Amino acid sequence: MTKKVLVVDDSALVRKVLGEEISKFSDFQVVGSAIDPYDARDKILKLNPDILTLDLEMPRMDGLSFLSKLMKFHPMPVVVVSSQAEEGSIAAMLALELGAVEIVPKPGSQFSVPDVAHNLIHALRAAGAITPEKLQQRSQQQETPVAVPLMKTTHKVVAIGASTGGTQAVEAVVHGMPPDGPGIIIVQHMPETFTGAFAARLNKKCAMEVREARDMDYVTPGIALIAPGDKHIVLERSGARYQVRVKGGPRVHYQRPSVDVLFQSVASNSGQNAIGVILTGMGSDGAKGMLAMHSEGAHTIAQDEKSCVIFGMPKEAIELGGVDEVLPLTQIAGGILAKVNSCRN
């Protein structure tokens, strides 16, 4: 079914470029554009779009303020199309917390129009797959995981993969970890200029240290490493220790970083000493990698359908037979720690 899209941006050029690129795909119809949130409010009521693309820096009302009001009074799927400034990256993280589905960079010196169009169409398709019930759930329920007692040092490795809706899901899991929790490696599908801001934001909120991964970082208790955007991340052994390698390479499932690339490396190098977690997201990235981890003796966990924004990646992993446990989001941190503790006893 064709999805109706409203483009909201104060730049006439950006509105024109985005509108033309979206219109190239038959599953979308651009029904209009708006120059600011007040114009967008009127167009939403008049045109009844299915999806909104939203700029964050606009006259009369900024995008974050508008998004907050929109998700409270008229929830709908929103894809943020943001500039590459560091301030914009932080604002994009706030937008995801407020309920935006995805963030996509604007065309500019770093990203060509075709690159942006590819990311935007993927984001719009993910947004179009979200049901009204899931939108209500996101706008009304922001659950905080229960704090977990401190645990002893462990050499377990936790590998987490997520896509659409994953920023909030990743935060929920990492927030549930104690300061000395098991070393974590995270792949969240996200443009390269936003992963650093995402890591910094989590670092302020979580007991563990959270940062963007650097090549040859060790995976140690108390630290969560987030794969940099546009780079794959893999786990390797370094003697008795684990470290990550951050590298280029072709996209896998149209993604770089790819969850499958991480999970396959964890299966090869950590085996039963690992715990794999696959969270909300569109597509099948991570399913084969999780099966490989499961086959090598790792304990694997998938987020359940009810708590997922999109039950795509977890569903594929479950159907492939690579999942040991299916848990609601609020129980995943506890599930990880329970497995870690049971292995020490």
Catalytic residue positions, numbered: 163, 189, 285
Measure the CA–CA gap between 136 and 130, rounded to whole angstroms.
Answer: 10
- Note whether 202 and 166 are within 8 A (CB): no
Computed from CA positions of residues 159, 252, 231, 57, in that sequence, does the dihedral angle turn out positive or negative?
A: negative
Taking only Cα atoms into account, the Rg of the chain, rounded to an integer number of angstroms, comes to 20
- Note whether 192 and 219 are within 8 A (CB): no
Interior/surface letters 90-106, b for 16+ CB within 10 angstroms, e for the rest: bbbbbbbbbbbbbbbbb
3-class secondary structure, 71: helix
Nearest alpha carbon to residue 78 among 28, 119, 130, 34: 130
Measure the CA–CA gap between 36 and 65, rounded to whole angstroms.
Answer: 12
- Note whether 136 and 246 are within 8 A (CB): no
Peptide bond into 178 cis (omega under 30): no
